[in-house]
Amino acid sequence: MDLSRLKFFVKVYLVGTARAVLLRFFGAKPNTNQWDKRMLLVNFDGLGDIVLMNGVIKHYKKDFPDREIYLAVRGGIGAERSLFGDFIDEIIYFDADRFKKNPWYGVRFINELRRIGFATVVNHDPSVGEALGKEVAARLGARDVIGYEGLGIQFARPFDANMEMGIQFVERHIFPRYTKIIPSIDRHADVNKRLTNFLRHYITIYEAVSGSRQKDYSSTVAVSPESDQSVLAMLAEYGVKSGEYCLLTLGTSTPHRDWPAERFAEVMNAAKGLKVVLVGARSDAPLRDRFKARYAGSFVDLVGKTSIPQVVALAKHSLLVFSNDTAPTHIAIALKKPSLAILGLGHFGMLSLYGYEDVNHWVYSKTAQCLCDNWRCIHTVGPAEPSPCVGSVLVADVIKEFASLVDYIKKNPNCPRTAFSVEFKHL
């Protein structure tokens, strides 16, 4: 048995079996008192995906006005309560690492949700390989447990052995405990070209649960007054005014998607006269230093100094957002802000090429050979190297696109001028 299979066996079978046995003896009974008035949405994916999902979360409260809407998300990703405005009533944080290692934590977490009591639980993560959220949803004793069959790319091209085993485990051991599985909209689609946007999967789940359709599925995110005020004060300290800077991020959650920091510096060197505000996690400090060594001007260094709500507020007050990470780009689109993103091809179109076509731009390599490969190409590069499709994005192409976008913004100060689109038709 190789190491990945051994880890999967320990994480899923040994810990999962121990958790199931403990729940049998120490599990709380689901609270059925007025549980029809409570609905739980579960999504343990990343921050950017949650922001994108707000395009449908915002409708649940309108469709179910007599219910309290709870949202369970992964802790530590920055999905703070303030980002959701009045779309939800309560947010519950889940510690994925503890759940995978400590069966007692899983028992306590599941019991906490059982004591609240939900008649309806919807696992809103369309990824079939994500087993944790599906396991939690299945264990709550809800009357209706609803899930999604999965993304076509995962069935066609599993990322690795762990994903392949995860899919098999979910289909054999978790889905049979659900009361409804919503069919995938791209299970048998051609995965050799642009993939179905994540938002379409979220919409499919929402419409199956609610029985209704909406005209507006644009993503959105709330900016708290406290974060807004603190950011304006912060910018004032550096002598930077709202609407006069580029909000820049350099790092991603997975290094193989990083576009070299030196290349970002070259792009910003060409954008003369535009102030730069750099944000990121503390772990992005080495990238910041590499950017600083190549950048010819001065910039506002806020790396490791801001909360996620403050980053959202900084995006709101920026001229545009420039990144190679999906989360800042999703935030920009949710705020109707211009954005430029470096795009890899592993999930081409799945989390990109949507929003407001006149101001949300992506630059990607048209020569790379790893189109829609589910990022399997990263197995051919070192742990700190960009994947081939990201590494082949040329500085000259990005400079050209950046200059074009800035010029458009200056000529059209009230942009966006196009309507929100779930998938751009012209690439």
Domain ranges in the chain are: 3-210, 225-421
Q: Cα–Cα distances in Å, from 284 out to 54, 85, 252, 255, 376? A: 27, 29, 9, 11, 25
Q: Cα–Cα distances in Å, from 17 out to 1, 110, 161, 166, 337? A: 20, 15, 21, 15, 47
Average pLDDT score over the chain:
93
Residue 160 binned pLDDT confidence (cut-offs 50, 70, 90): confident
- Judge if 3-210 and 225-421 fold alike in CATH terms: yes
CATH class of the structural domain 3-210: alpha beta
For residue 106, pLDDT over 70 is answered with yes
For residue 356, pLDDT over 70 is answered with yes
| pLDDT recorded at residue 162 | 81
- Rounded mean pLDDT, 4-25: 81
For residue 426, pLDDT over 70 is answered with no
User: At residue 143, what is the residue type?
Assistant: R
Separation CA 427–CA 209 (nearest Å): 32
- Rounded mean pLDDT, 83-99: 95
| pLDDT recorded at residue 3 | 63
Burial environment of residue 385 by CB neighbours within 10 A (0 to 12, 13 to 18, 19 or more):
middle
Instruction: Extract the runs of DSSP E, i.e. beta strands, from 62-177.
Output: 68-74, 90-94, 120-123, 144-148
Q: Tell me: the pLDDT tens digits for 368-410?
A: 778 888 888 888 888 778 889 999 999 999 999 999 999 999 9
| pLDDT recorded at residue 328 | 96
| pLDDT recorded at residue 5 | 67
Here the tokens at position 72 are: 């369970």
| pLDDT recorded at residue 427 | 61
Q: Tell me: the pLDDT tens digits for 238-274?
A: 999 999 999 999 988 888 889 999 999 999 999 988 9
Separation CA 397–CA 415 (nearest Å): 23
Instruction: Extract the runs of DSSP E, i.e. beta strands, from 15-137.
Output: 38-43, 68-74, 90-94, 120-123
For residue 283, pLDDT over 80 is answered with yes
Q: 225-421: CATH homologous superfamily?
A: Glycogen Phosphorylase B; (3.40.50.2000)
